C-alpha cells in the first residue's frame, strides 16, 4: 500500500488483515472509529468477491456484523455461517442460465499462454480467476474472453493482475436485496471500486465510488453514484463519513 500524502501528514493506520504472517490490509484509525459507529447504528453488511476463507482473514473494528456477503453474492453469512437456502437458490439460477464452470475453465486454460498465466484458481466452486503477468498479457485477450463468455451466461472482469470469470446470476446486488428483505431495510447504501461492484452500486439507493480502482480507471458512473477524489485509505475514511451522514439524514438499513 502506498499513501498519497507527504510523510509528515500520513494518518495513523490499523492493520485489519494478516496473510502469510505479514500485515496486508490497513485502514486509518479515524476510519476504524467511524466504522464502529456505523456498525452500532445501522445494519452494516461487509460485501466482497472474496471467498469465505479469504473474508475470514479480515478483522474489522467495532461490533461484529450479523450478515456478510462473500463470493460475489454466492454466500450470505448469518452469524458467520453460510445460509443453505441462499446457496441452493444461487446454484439453481447458475445451472439454469449458464454453461458450466468446467467449460469456462477449460476455455480459459486452452486460450491462455503459460508465458503470462501465473495461477488459475476456483473460488467456492462458483467462479474462476487467473493471475497474470500484466506486462506480457496480450492487449485483446480479455476482450476476446469476454466476448466468448457473454452469450454463455458469464461475465469477465480484469482487476489488477487478476482476471475473473463469474456467472451472471452471481451478483452482490441480489444478495444485498435478500439481506434487505430479511432485515426490513427500506434504504440501502453501498460503495465499491471494481467492475464486480457495479451492479451493487446501481442497485443501492445511494452509492459512492473512490478515485482508485477498476471503475475509476474505466470512468464508470451511475446517476445514484457519487464519485470521490480520495484514493486508498483516505477514500475508505471519506466513504464511511458519507455513509454516516446519509444514515443520520434518513433511517438506513444497509
Kindly report which listed range (85-99, 135-149, 237-251) carries the lowest average pLDDT score: 237-251
Q: Residues in the chain, how many?
A: 254
| Cα distance between the two ends of the chain | 28
The model's confidence at residue 253, banded by pLDDT at 50, 70 and 90, is very low
State how far the Cα of 158 lies from the Cα of 201, in Å rounded to an integer.
Answer: 18
State how far the Cα of 100 lies from the Cα of 185, in Å rounded to an integer.
Answer: 34
252 three-state secondary structure: coil
pLDDT digits (tens, 9 = 90+) for 53-94: 999 999 999 999 999 999 999 999 999 999 999 999 999 999
Residue for cell digits 445494519?
A: 43
Q: Taking a C-beta distance cutoff of 8 angstroms, is the pair 172, 200 a contact?
A: yes
Instruction: Please tell me the predicted confidence (pLDDT) of residue 72.
Output: 98
**Residue 7 DSSP code:** G
Kindly report which listed range (48-57, 89-98, 119-128, 153-162) carries the lowest average pLDDT score: 153-162
Instruction: Please tell me the predicted confidence (pLDDT) of residue 2.
Output: 59
Grid coordinates representing 90?
Answer: 444461487
The model's confidence at residue 8, banded by pLDDT at 50, 70 and 90, is confident
**pLDDT of 231 above 70:** yes
**Residue 77 DSSP code:** E
Tell me the percentage of the chain whose pLDDT exceeds 90. 91
State how far the Cα of 169 lies from the Cα of 152, in Å rounded to an integer.
Answer: 12
Is 215 exposed, middle or buried (CB count within 10 Å of its CB: 0-12, 13-18, 19+)? buried
- Mean pLDDT calculated for residue range 140-166: 95
Instruction: Please tell me the predicted confidence (pLDDT) of residue 1.
Output: 53
- Residue 210, φ and ψ in degrees, nearest 5: -75, 175
Kindly report which listed range (31-35, 43-47, 55-59, 248-252) carries the lowest average pLDDT score: 248-252
**CA-to-CA dists, residue 126 to 65, 104, 192, angstroms:** 24, 11, 21
State how far the Cα of 178 lies from the Cα of 162, in Å rounded to an integer.
Answer: 28
Instruction: Please tell me the predicted confidence (pLDDT) of residue 222.
Output: 97
Residue 254 CB partners (closer than 8 Å, separation 6+) = 42, 43, 44, 45, 176, 179, 180, 183, 185, 187, 188, 189, 190, 204
- Residue 189, φ and ψ in degrees, nearest 5: -125, 145
**CA-to-CA dists, residue 187 to 63, 154, 167, 184, 190, angstroms:** 21, 29, 27, 9, 10
Amino acid at each position: 500500500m502506498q499513501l498519497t500524502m507527504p510523510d509528515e501528514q500520513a494518518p495513523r493506520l490499523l492493520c485489519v488483515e494478516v496473510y502469510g504472517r505479514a500485515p496486508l490490509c490497513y485502514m486509518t484509525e479515524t476510519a476504524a472509529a467511524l466504522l464502529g459507529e456505523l456498525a452500532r447504528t445501522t445494519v452494516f453488511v461487509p460485501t466482497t468477491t472474496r471467498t469465505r476463507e479469504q473474508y475470514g482473514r479480515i478483522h474489522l473494528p467495532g461490533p461484529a456484523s450479523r450478515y456478510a456477503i462473500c463470493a460475489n453474492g454466492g454466500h450470505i453469512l448469518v452469524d458467520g455461517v453460510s445460509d443453505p437456502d441462499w446457496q441452493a437458490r444461487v446454484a439453481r439460477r447458475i445451472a439454469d442460465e449458464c454453461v458450466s464452470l468446467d467449460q469456462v475453465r477449460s476455455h480459459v486454460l486452452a486460450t491462455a499462454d503459460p508465458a503470462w498465466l501465473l495461477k488459475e484458481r476456483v473460488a467456492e466452486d462458483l467462479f474462476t480467476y487467473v493471475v497474470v503477468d500484466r506486462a506480457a498479457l496480450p492487449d485483446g485477450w480479455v476482450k476476446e474472453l469476454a466476448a466468448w463468455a457473454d452469450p454463455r451466461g458469464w461475465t469477465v472482469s480484469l482487476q489488477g493482475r487478476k482476471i475473473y470469470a463469474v456467472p451472471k446470476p452471481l451478483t452482490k446486488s441480489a444478495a444485498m436485496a435478500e439481506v434487505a428483505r430479511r432485515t426490513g431495510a427500506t434504504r440501502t447504501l453501498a460503495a465499491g471500486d471494481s467492475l464486480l461492484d457495479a451492479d451493487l452500486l446501481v442497485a443501492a439507493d445511494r452509492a459512492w465510488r473512490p478515485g482508485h480502482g477498476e471503475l475509476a480507471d474505466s470512468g464508470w458512473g451511475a446517476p445514484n453514484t457519487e464519485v470521490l477524489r480520495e484514493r486508498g485509505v483516505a477514500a475508505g475514511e471519506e466513504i464511511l463519513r458519507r455513509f454516516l451522514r446519509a444514515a443520520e439524514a434518513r433511517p438506513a438499513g444497509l
